[in-house]
Structure 1
Amino acid sequence: APDQIDRFVQIVDEANARGEAVGVHCALGFGRTGTMLACYLVKERGLAAGDAIAEIRRLRPGSIETYEQEKAVFQFYQRTK
């Protein structure tokens, strides 16, 4: 959900500001994890949605498993650009 993605990005930003690392995981570490990390790349590195998805998949093949997860990254990009 958009509010969960926004909250995740905020939590990571706050942790980074304190110099803290953040562990991100879901059941298998592919779908939801990849989706959240791609959204973080959109905001923090200024990547386009497709580029963020490609980068996450390059780093962890099989990530962002469903159309709905891809769509969430594109919607986040549209809301934050």
Structure 2
Amino acid sequence: MKSYTFSEARQNFAAILEQARRDGAVRIQRRDGQSFVLTPEPQKASPLDIPGVQLSQPLTREDILESIQESRRSFDESHTSEVRPNKAL
């Protein structure tokens, strides 16, 4: 982990943030000996936020519900063919 003095961090704050993003953390040490570790927070993304999909209009509630129903139908269809009849004795 890369360490910086408080003065270095203050003068190069944007670069320090980028370093923390790339490496996961940087240490900043004050003159009095206290040190702090700067770490990036994980980005929170929506499960519907799919890279490469550009929507011309925002999704409506009906669009989302229709997608869920379509997914469930597709799942049911793919799994009903795997169901084997139970042979009774």
TM-score (norm 1): 0.24
Higher strand share: 2
Query: Which has the bigger relative contact order, CA under 8 A and spacing at least 6?
Result: 1
Higher helix share: 1
Highest Rg: 1 or 2? Answer: 2
